[in-house]
Protein backbone atom coordinates (compact mmCIF):
# COMPACT_ATOMS: atom_id res chain seq x y z
CA UNK A 1 0.00 0.00 0.00
CA UNK A 2 1.42 3.33 -1.05
CA UNK A 3 -0.10 6.39 0.57
CA UNK A 4 -0.41 9.75 -1.11
CA UNK A 5 1.76 12.67 -0.10
CA UNK A 6 -1.32 14.31 1.44
CA UNK A 7 -1.96 11.26 3.64
CA UNK A 8 1.67 11.20 4.76
CA UNK A 9 1.67 14.94 5.52
CA UNK A 10 -1.63 14.64 7.39
CA UNK A 11 -0.20 11.83 9.50
CA UNK A 12 2.86 13.93 10.32
CA UNK A 13 0.68 16.90 11.28
CA UNK A 14 0.65 15.79 14.91
CA UNK A 15 3.70 16.42 17.08
CA UNK A 16 3.38 13.06 18.87
CA UNK A 17 3.36 11.22 15.56
CA UNK A 18 6.45 13.14 14.44
CA UNK A 19 8.14 12.13 17.71
CA UNK A 20 7.17 8.51 17.09
CA UNK A 21 8.69 8.68 13.61
CA UNK A 22 11.89 10.07 15.13
CA UNK A 23 11.98 7.27 17.72
CA UNK A 24 11.46 4.65 15.02
CA UNK A 25 14.11 6.30 12.87
CA UNK A 26 16.59 5.51 15.63
CA UNK A 27 15.46 1.92 16.09
CA UNK A 28 12.46 -0.37 15.51
CA UNK A 29 10.53 -0.52 18.78
CA UNK A 30 7.49 -2.02 20.51
CA UNK A 31 4.70 0.23 21.80
CA UNK A 32 6.01 0.08 25.38
CA UNK A 33 9.43 1.45 24.41
CA UNK A 34 7.84 4.22 22.35
CA UNK A 35 5.35 5.12 25.09
CA UNK A 36 8.15 5.31 27.68
CA UNK A 37 9.69 8.15 25.67
CA UNK A 38 6.49 10.17 25.29
CA UNK A 39 4.16 12.00 27.68
CA UNK A 40 1.15 10.00 26.46
CA UNK A 41 -0.39 6.64 27.32
CA UNK A 42 0.29 3.35 25.56
CA UNK A 43 -3.26 3.28 24.11
CA UNK A 44 -2.64 6.77 22.69
CA UNK A 45 0.66 5.62 21.18
CA UNK A 46 -1.15 2.64 19.65
CA UNK A 47 -3.73 4.98 18.06
CA UNK A 48 -0.95 7.17 16.65
CA UNK A 49 0.86 4.10 15.31
CA UNK A 50 -2.34 2.94 13.63
CA UNK A 51 -2.63 6.30 11.83
CA UNK A 52 1.04 6.22 10.82
CA UNK A 53 0.53 2.69 9.53
CA UNK A 54 -2.54 3.75 7.50
CA UNK A 55 -0.41 6.52 5.97
CA UNK A 56 2.20 3.97 4.97
CA UNK A 57 4.90 5.37 7.24
CA UNK A 58 5.27 2.43 9.63
CA UNK A 59 4.92 -1.33 9.54
CA UNK A 60 4.68 -3.81 12.38
CA UNK A 61 5.92 -7.35 12.82
CA UNK A 62 5.06 -9.87 15.53
CA UNK A 63 7.93 -10.72 17.87
CA UNK A 64 6.72 -13.19 20.45
CA UNK A 65 3.85 -11.61 22.37
CA UNK A 66 4.48 -8.07 21.16
CA UNK A 67 4.56 -6.15 17.91
CA UNK A 68 7.65 -4.25 16.85
CA UNK A 69 7.15 -1.15 14.74
CA UNK A 70 9.59 0.18 12.15
CA UNK A 71 9.62 2.91 9.53
CA UNK A 72 8.67 1.98 5.97
CA UNK A 73 10.95 3.29 3.25
CA UNK A 74 8.01 3.50 0.85
CA UNK A 75 6.18 6.00 3.05
CA UNK A 76 9.27 8.09 3.52
CA UNK A 77 9.95 7.94 -0.24
CA UNK A 78 6.46 9.31 -0.90
CA UNK A 79 7.25 12.28 1.29
CA UNK A 80 10.72 12.74 -0.24
CA UNK A 81 9.37 12.63 -3.80
CA UNK A 82 6.72 15.22 -2.93
CA UNK A 83 9.28 17.57 -1.35
CA UNK A 84 11.76 16.99 -4.20
CA UNK A 85 9.05 17.94 -6.67
CA UNK A 86 8.33 21.15 -4.78
CA UNK A 87 12.06 21.90 -4.56
CA UNK A 88 12.56 21.39 -8.32
CA UNK A 89 9.61 23.67 -9.01
CA UNK A 90 11.00 26.35 -6.69
CA UNK A 91 14.43 26.15 -8.30
CA UNK A 92 12.89 26.44 -11.76
CA UNK A 93 10.88 29.49 -10.69
CA UNK A 94 14.04 31.05 -9.27
CA UNK A 95 15.97 30.32 -12.48
CA UNK A 96 13.15 31.86 -14.55
CA UNK A 97 13.14 34.96 -12.35
CA UNK A 98 16.91 35.38 -12.67
CA UNK A 99 16.74 34.83 -16.43
CA UNK A 100 14.01 37.46 -16.84
CA UNK A 101 16.05 40.03 -14.89
CA UNK A 102 19.25 39.63 -16.92
CA UNK A 103 20.27 42.86 -18.61
CA UNK A 104 20.17 42.90 -22.38
CA UNK A 105 23.64 41.91 -23.63
CA UNK A 106 23.32 43.80 -26.90
CA UNK A 107 25.30 46.99 -27.19
CA UNK A 108 23.56 49.78 -29.07
CA UNK A 109 24.58 50.00 -32.67
CA UNK A 110 26.09 46.48 -32.78
CA UNK A 111 24.21 43.29 -33.78
Q: pLDDT tens-digit profile of 31-73?
A: 999 999 999 999 999 999 999 999 999 999 999 999 999 999 9
4: closest CA among 59, 53, 75, 73? 75
Rounded Cα distance, 101 and 104, in Å: 9
pTM over 0.85: no
SS3 62: strand
Structural domain contains residue 34: yes
Structural domain contains residue 97: no
Contacts of 78 (CB under 8 A, 6+ apart): 2, 3, 4, 5, 8, 56
2 within 8 A of 79, measured Cβ to Cβ: no
In this predicted structure, what is the pLDDT of residue 105? 57
Statement: residue 108 has pLDDT above 70: no
Structural domain contains residue 103: no
Q: In total, how many domains does the chain have?
A: 1
Structural domain contains residue 109: no
Q: What is the residue-averaged pLDDT of the chain?
A: 90
Statement: residue 110 has pLDDT above 60: no
At 103, the pLDDT band (50, 70, 90 cuts) reads confident
Amino acid sequence: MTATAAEVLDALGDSHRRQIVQILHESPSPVRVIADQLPISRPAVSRHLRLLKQAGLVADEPHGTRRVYRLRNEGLNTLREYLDSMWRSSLQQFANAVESEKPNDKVEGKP
